[in-house]
Amino acid sequence: IMTRSSQPPVPLPAAVLFDMDGLLVETEDLWYMAERTIMEDIGAQWGPEHQGALVGGPLEFAVAYMIEVSGQDHDHQVMLDRLMTEMERVLRTEPVHWRPGAKQLVGALEACGVPMALVSASWRSLIEAVHDAVLHELGHEVFVTTVAGDEVERTKPFPDPYLLAAERIGVDPRTCVVLEDSHTGSRAGVASGALVVAVPSFSAIEPAPGLLVVDSLELLTPELLGEWSRTWASTGHISGYV
């Protein structure tokens, strides 16, 4: 007879690797605000359809796209510096909100002893601004490591940032769960070998091998992520809407 104390332990992921913008915190509207301010300053149009092309992508691509849309000959580095300065100003002056269920899921994973990392395409200065706005509420030690977009040679959609985070934690990426909200980030996570659970924030994401799609972080628990991760690591087959 199996007693409660002799029941097999609930499976947990080896680590959970969190995206930041649009996944942990609601910043897509703030990015749009910063981008539109700069484009208006140079006399160019900028709408939601333009922002949709940038969600989850590297800042270098965003700047190149903004210059292309403007139809003007702007210096890439000057435009990048302007975007960084304006976005940091917005993050430090406008309200920054948690995505539904984000803070609770981080707390539950911490309580279960699951290592976590923050892996963002945003640069370190913007991660620090988001930290000062809301992430500090989690405590300084909640993430084993954080990886910023300007700290890796190749950022998302390449797997490098997630591979680096797993290496720093000391776990096999194939036993990790990546939480993402964008196509670009999901591609990076899948390429790393981890199970990706996408919570779309701006545009729809289709399931694929190693890619589950859920409506909200509120639906996730450490145990559920562990069950999915074990299935993926052992069979190499998992996908779909949850």
Per-residue model confidence (pLDDT) at position 49? 84
Among 183, 120, 184, CA closest to 151: 120
Q: Answer whether residue 4 shows pLDDT above 80.
A: no
pTM comes to 0.90
Per-residue model confidence (pLDDT) at position 51? 81
Among 172, 154, 151, CA closest to 17: 172
d(CA 63, CA 54): 10
DSSP letter (8 states) at residue 195: E
pLDDT band of 94, cuts 50, 70, 90: very high
Per-residue model confidence as pLDDT tens digits over 15-64: 999 999 999 999 989 999 999 999 999 999 999 888 877 776 778 888 99
Per-residue model confidence (pLDDT) at position 202? 79
Per-residue model confidence as pLDDT tens digits over 23-32: 999 998 999 9
% pLDDT > 90, the chain = 83
Tokens of 233: 């690591």
Q: Which residues, 6+ apart, have CB-to-CB distance to 136 below 8 Å?
A: none
Q: Answer whether residue 7 shows pLDDT above 80.
A: no
| Alpha helices for 56-136 (secondary structure H) | 59-70, 76-93, 102-112, 124-133
Tokens of 148: 């910023």
